[in-house]
Amino acid sequence: MIARIEPGVLSGTIPAIPSKSEAHRALICAALSDTPTRIVCRASSEDIEATLACLDALGARIEIEGGVYTVTPMGRAARAAKPLDCRESGSTLRFLLPVAAARGGARFEGAPRLSKRPLLPLIRALREHGVTVDTDGELPLTVSGQLSAGVFALPGNISSQYITGLLLAAPLLDGTTTIRVAEPIESKPYIALTIDVLHVFGVDAEIVHEDGCTCYTMRARAAYSSPGSFKVGGDWSNAAFWLAAGALSETGVCVEGLSLSSKQADRSILGALSLFGVRVVRTAHSAAAVPDELRGARIDVSSCPDLVPAIAPLAALAEGRTVITGAGRLRLKESDRLASISNALNRIGAHVDVIDDALVFEGVGQLHGGEIDAAADHRIAMMAAIAATRADGPVLIHGAQCTAKSYPDFFEDFAALGGRMEWRV
């Protein structure tokens, strides 16, 4: 479908949707716990639905009522009775692959595009610890054998999702497990988020820094213990788009339901906005961006690559040059986001170049109407919608329905903040 966006600033207050990153982790921990857990999560997405379906295939029972997921654990280890369909969710696949390996195996399926996202480093680590995987990442794939405890050595410049998957599986193993990750570690805040959620479910990791590595050690058979209930926090990743819109508006945008103490990596949006010269207003449970004169900045996103689509419209319109570095991982997302961002914004008048693993923007005073391909990437579609508010004519976003992957109500909330859009087939 095509979303036609008319120019016009966004302003007002919007509630944050629940964090997809946190929900994935909490649901998996709940399914591995000793007793049922109520997960309070008022909104879902295609990725969360994929994790729910896979947990069901592994034997968990999940009842949903009024934004509350009641998760009954999957019980003792056993090979999954039916395939795990991860759809297009990289998090679902990478988190549950080690878990399934610790429980006797499973067959994984998914959308064709999911096979294109790198998985081999994780598969190699599993193979080194007694697991048989019948492909190098192409789906469908079958995991068999029994994952053994020990030392898992991984470089730090790979997906943090591999490390999260191993952390989730480690308490299920018979021996002490150490995950040794070479520094520097990209997307490290996502690992901290995993450690935080594990702690709530009674599982702790000992963290030691030695010989240029961070070592995460978990004791054998550390039982998951349900906290009874768990409320998923507000999502900084998607809130970042509204805060960027506030920086481009006349009166600003406030997002409520955000924790300033959250371990989510994309809480870094507040620092990024400040570098652009945006005025940021914080409270204990909200954040707001108030417009000011935008200036170019140099921003390292190695720990928060998902922020780039949100801040790209600011970079395109800020006075002077903006250089976004540490963005190499964006090539491995739902699309090659370095290419998708530059292609999309250049089509409506921005000046963006891809240089190695960086994006270089020369600020323009005005964007223009035109047509953008969302590249089947939810964050590119959201970026295009925010950029379109500052165009001098309508912007047509092809494939804009892909926002359902992480934020099904994105365009409804866009309209609630004053955005003008209509759907075309």
Residues assigned a catalytic role: 306
Residue 238, sorted as left (phi over 0), alpha (psi -120 to 50) or beta, turns out to be alpha
Give the residue carrying structure tokens 């801040």.
311
How many residues are present in the chain? 425
Q: How far is CA 276 from CA 318, 323, 398, in A?
A: 7, 11, 29
Core vs surface per residue 59-74: b (16+ CB within 10 A) or e: bbebeeeeeebebbbb
Burial of residue 356 (number of CB atoms within 10 Å: 0-12, 13-18, 19+)? exposed
Burial of residue 13 (number of CB atoms within 10 Å: 0-12, 13-18, 19+)? middle
* Amino acid at site 181: V
- Residue 342 and residue 349 in contact, taking contact as beta carbons nearer than 8 Å: no
The three state secondary structure string of 256-281 is ECCCCCCCCHHHHHHHHHHHCCCEEE
3-state helix, strand, coil in the chain (%, to 5): 35, 25, 40
Please give the distance of CA 235 from its chain centroid, rounded to a whole number.
Answer: 9
